[in-house]
């Protein structure tokens, strides 16, 4: 136990960030570490103008945003298979870029699409991607319900992610229409994950997916509970889903 843990502080410095990731076979280059540091600086700077996050302390951002986003890679392979095209990932309601931008930094081969309903957040992410020199990242200012009915995006993605967006019964309707058949939907949840999974069974069945894996774990240092839910899509989502904006949250499946 280090000094910070003894004092009960929530602190993840860059060295600890690296060490914890290395334990899970994620090895970052100096360039990638520099990208995370620039990300934090831009997040703090832009947060003064627009509400991106309540968490701005460097060590907390590294733990609760950067590390937390990368926990998805502990349980799901974001690697590119030999002779296969780069996997496509769509992040729904990414907010300040979580989990997709940390995943993209760690796995630069990914082709990433981000959709968010707030134009200001999209503007921040566009500037961030430019500053970090990220390639193959595309941003869309749209509601997930509308985006999921767009033939250019519907059932086009290998992986769809979402973190801190909505309860799973609602989130499934926003995300699964974007997933290709045999693709994956990954939901980043806290301690409520198991309970949400139970109430979302009907929605998952209607939308064409089954639960592939459920992973429960705790963040280091602060020991808060996390649940990573991984769903595989077995069949096409009926055309009526997602329903019109606002309907999924008002009347979950």
Angle made by CA atoms 161, 234, 71, in degrees to the nearest 5: 25
Q: Are 247 and 145 in contact (CB under 8 A)?
A: yes
Q: How far is CA 146 from CA 111, 142, 184, 246, 248, in A?
A: 21, 7, 20, 10, 12
SS (H, E, C) 25-53: CCCCCHHHHHHHHHHHHHHHHHHCCCCCC
Model pTM score:
0.94
Burial class (CB in 10 A: 0-12, 13-18, 19+), 249: middle
Cα(122)–Cα(114) distance, integer angstroms: 8
The beta strands (E) that lie in the chain are given as 88-92, 111-116, 137-141, 157-163, 179-189, 209-218, 225-233
C-alpha dihedral sign at 228, 132, 58, 106: positive
Position 222 scores a pLDDT of 86
Tokens standing for 91? 């992040």
Q: Max Cα separation, the chain?
A: 55
Position 223 scores a pLDDT of 85
Position 84 scores a pLDDT of 85
Position 48 scores a pLDDT of 95
- Total residues found in the chain within this entry: 253
Position 7 scores a pLDDT of 39
Listed in sequence order, the residues at least 6 apart from 84 whose beta carbon sits closer than 8 Å to its beta carbon are none
Please list the residues that pair with 161 across neighbouring strands.
91, 186
Provide the residue-wise pLDDT of the chain in tens; the chain has 253 residues: 343 443 345 579 999 999 999 999 999 999 999 999 999 999 999 999 999 999 999 999 999 999 999 999 999 999 888 888 899 999 999 999 999 999 999 999 999 999 999 999 999 999 999 999 999 999 999 999 999 999 999 999 999 999 988 999 999 999 999 999 999 999 999 999 999 999 999 999 999 999 999 999 999 998 899 999 999 999 999 999 999 999 999 999 9
Position 49 scores a pLDDT of 93
Tokens standing for 246? 């606002």
**Is beta strand 157-163 parallel, antiparallel or unpaired with respect to 137-141?**
unpaired
């Amino acid at each position: 136990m280090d000094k910070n843990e003894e004092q009960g502080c929530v602190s993840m410095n860059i060295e600890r960030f690296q060490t914890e990731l290395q334990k899970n076979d994620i090895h970052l280059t100096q360039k990638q570490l520099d990208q995370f540091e620039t990300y934090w600086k831009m997040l703090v700077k832009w947060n003064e103008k627009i509400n991106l996050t309540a968490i701005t302390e460097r060590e907390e951002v590294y733990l609760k945003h950067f590390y937390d986003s990368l926990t998805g890679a502990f349980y799901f392979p974001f690697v590119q298979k030999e002779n296969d095209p780069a996997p496509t990932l769509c992040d729904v309601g990414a907010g300040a870029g979580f989990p997709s931008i940390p995943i993209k930094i760690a796995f630069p081969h990914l082709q990433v699409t981000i959709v968010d309903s707030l134009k200001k957040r999209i503007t921040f992410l566009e500037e961030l991607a430019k500053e970090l020199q990220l390639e193959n990242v595309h941003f869309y200012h749209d509601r997930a319900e509308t985006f999921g009915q767009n033939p250019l995006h519907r059932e086009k993605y290998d992986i769809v992610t979402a973190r801190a967006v909505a309860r799973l019964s609602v989130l499934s309707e926003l995300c699964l229409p974007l997933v290709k058949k045999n693709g994956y939907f990954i939901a980043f949840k806290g301690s409520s994950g198991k309970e949400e999974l139970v109430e979302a069974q009907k929605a998952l069945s209607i939308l064409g997916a089954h639960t592939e894996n459920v992973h429960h774990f705790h963040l280091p240092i602060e020991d808060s509970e996390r649940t990573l839910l991984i769903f595989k899509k077995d069949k096409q989502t009926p055309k009526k889903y997602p329903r019109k904006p606002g309907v999924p949250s008002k009347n979950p499946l």
